[in-house]
Amino acid sequence: MSRQEAEGILKLSSKMESLLKSPQKCARVLKDRITANVFFEASTRTSLSFQTASARLGAKPIVFSNKTSSSAKGESFSDTIRMVDGYADAIVLRHPCEGAAQLASEIARHPVINAGDGANQHPTQALIDLYTIRKLKGKIAGVNVALFGDLLHARAMHSLLFGLLLFKAKVTLVSPKGLSMPPALVREAEMKFKVKIRCATKPDLKNADVLYVCRVQKERYSDKKKAEAAARLFRVDSRLLKSAKKGLAILHPLPKVVEISPEVDLDPRAKYFEQAKNGVPVRMAVLSWCALGKKKAAWRGVSLRFACKNPSCITRAESIAGSAAMGADGVLRCRYCEKPA
Ligand code: NCD
């Protein structure tokens, strides 16, 4: 997404937030359209806020769950997408495989919105985060943001890193040993935005304007004991926050489990529930943006057929021949999960 496109969605989100005050006007925007929520992974906020956004705009959301659908009988992902594409005007997709949304967007005639693909990306969460930061701080450029937690697996952090750099925020990646952001992603971001990204193992709260925390993504670990050990490596509590600025904003994509102490909820600097509420206007903007018929960006780059080595890539789950392409940083990567070949 270009800066101009992201800016357009953020502006539209503010308009949607105002429009929410006139429910009848709001309900004319996508009147009689159908949106499909296709979720192969657990979700509370993303699923509910997309359904709310759709209903507020006058569209009717239909909901798929892999537990009660024919996926439980072994239907392939590609077939499921073909079916839903025949029913709905837009597809909101969450899937445990990386690159699932990219593949679905190539199968479907209707727009596909990535609501999280494995440990890869979660772009609409990043838009909510940018919208929230701008609302709280009045700007994004120059704001000091510390991304803190399981940066290795958290897709929300992966998308947010690119979003923040697109808007010229000052980012520090803070993660305990073993949980740092994938180096290929950091390199790509540094080359794309021509910056050197700061990394630390503890947050420097004296200088941070935003502390963005995420949980250990237990479901991405094959060894549950390792996940539990990782969850003990960091925690935000009132003691840690003592050195922080008065104007600090504490954000979290939620769900939070053990990484934020319960007393932090009472700290006026905790803004995560406000952030979650912003999910509705931002997702209303995303849905109506799709309805404007914005064309998908054409695939650019050298396309080569190859077999992706990433075990979590959708091309492995669906046994389809992958295709690789050269990224902006000159690295050959899988067209679907975006991992270096
Ligand atoms: C995030 C996700 O699913 O990646 N949740 C969300 O969409 N708000 C973060 C998480 O699960 O930790």
Q: Which domains does the chain show, CATH number per domain?
A: 3-118+279-291 (3.40.50.1370), 125-266 (3.40.50.1370), 301-341 (2.30.30)
Least confidently predicted of 7-11, 155-159, 240-244, 319-323? 319-323
**235: pLDDT strictly greater than 80:** yes
pLDDT of residue 319: 84
From atom 7 of ligand 1, which residue's Cα is the shortest distance away? Answer: 46
Say yes or no to pLDDT of 297 above 60: no
CB-ligand 1 contact for 46 (6 Å cutoff): yes
Q: Is the CB of 171 under 6 A from ligand 1?
A: no
Q: Both tokens of residue 306?
A: 């190859």
pLDDT, position 22: 96
Residue 276 CA, closest ligand 1 atom number:
8
- Residue 253 alpha carbon, nearest atom of ligand 1: 8
* Ramachandran angles phi, psi of 215, nearest 5°: -80, 165
Mean pLDDT of the chain: 93
For the CA of 45, the closest atom of ligand 1 is 8
HEC assignment per residue over 250-274: EECCCCCCCCECHHHHHCCCECHHH
Which pLDDT score is estimated for 327?
Answer: 73
The angle at the Cα of 106, spanning 336 to 325, to the nearest 5 degrees, equals: 40
Active site annotation includes 109? no
Query: pLDDT at residue 334 above 80?
Result: yes
Query: Does the annotation mark 139 as catalytic?
Result: no
pTM: 0.95
- From 132, 151, 160, 214, the mutation candidate for ligand 1 (largest count of ligand atoms within 8 A of CB) is 214
Q: Would you call 132 a catalytic residue per the annotation?
A: no
Is the beta carbon of 170 within 6 A of some atom in ligand 1? no
Is the Cβ–Cβ distance between 287 and 56 less than 8 Å?
A: no
Let me know: does 282 contact 45? Beta carbons within 8 Å.
Answer: no
The CA-atom distances, in angstroms, between 317 and each of 4, 236, 314, 321 are 35, 37, 5, 11
pLDDT digit string, tens, across residues 52-61: 999 999 999 9
User: Do 132 and 124 touch, CB atoms closer than 8 A?
Assistant: no
Give the end-to-end CA distance of the chain in Å, rounded to a whole number: 23
3-state secondary structure the chain: CCHHHHHHHHHHHHHHHHHCCCHHHHCCCCCCCEEEEEECCCCCHHHHHHHHHHHHCCCEEEEEECCCCHHHHCCCHHHHHHHHHHHCCEEEEEECCECHHHHHHHHCCCCEEEEEECCCECHHHHHHHHHHHHHHHCCCCCCEEEEECCCCCCHHHHHHHHHHHHCCCEEEEECCCCCCCCHHHHHHHHHHHCCCCEEECCCCCCCCCEEEECCCCHHHCCCHHHHHHHHCCCCECHHHHCCCCCCCEEECCCCCCCCECHHHHHCCCECHHHHHHCHHHHHHHHHHHHHCCCCCCCCCCCCEEECCCCCCEHHHHCCCCEEEEECCCCCEEECCCCCEC
Distance 28 CA to ligand 1 centre (A): 30
33 in active site: no
Nearest atom of ligand 1 to the alpha carbon of 155: 4
Contact (CB, 8 A) for 302 and 326: yes
- pLDDT for residue 306: 83
Statement: residue 142 has pLDDT above 70: yes
Is the CB of 101 inside a 6 Å radius of any atom of ligand 1? no
Residue 49: count other Cβ atoms within 10 Å of its Cβ.
23
